[in-house]
Amino acid sequence: MTYDPYALAFPAPAFAVTSTDFTHGGALPDSAYQPLNESPALSWGPLPGGTRSLVVTAFDADAPIPGGLWHWAVKDVPATLSGIPHGGGAGTALVNDLGVTGYTGAKPPAGTGTHRMFICVTALAVDSLEVPHDASRALLNIAMIPHTLGRGIIVGTSEPR
């Protein structure tokens, strides 16, 4: 697939996002699949000047449903952090598309090929993003627009098992 969910996103300067658990374009670790549901370790930076908090999301652009599948959303990650450890542990987790608060691992259905998980870190100019705990990802993304200073993306792949 060639769909890039961020191609039409509100423009923002890019910054680096890396992981010790996988390389950009490489396979997600076994722990990032269901049933283990452990978010990968992430590092980022340097962040744009004025960054006060971050939002981290994970989106399967190749899920066989209209609009893809949001696996994870965390808001209010302190800008003083240069990353988050394997399994998360920073910020306020929101409800994902599967109705779970926190990260739900990859589980591509048989016959759907390789899926791309876009993990995005968005730098914001506010300490806290005021959205409800169960806000849709659309509402989360809309709320970020006026505060966005930069965005970093790393993509991991998953296969049906």
Using CB atoms within 10 Å of the CB of residue 19, give its burial: 0 to 12 exposed, 13 to 18 middle, 19+ buried.
buried
The mean pLDDT value for 95-106 works out to 96
Distance CA 105, CA 126 (A): 29
Confidence of residue 147 (pLDDT cuts 50, 70, 90): very high
Distance CA 19, CA 17 (A): 7
Task: Name residue, tokens 């744009």.
Answer: 48
Distance CA 122, CA 54 (A): 5
Distance CA 44, CA 119 (A): 12
Task: Name residue, tokens 């696996």.
Answer: 71
pLDDT by residue (tens digit) across 128-138? 999 998 999 89
Q: Is the pLDDT of residue 25 over 60?
A: yes
At 22 the pLDDT is 98
At 105 the pLDDT is 97
Which domains does the chain possess?
17-158 (3.90.280.10)
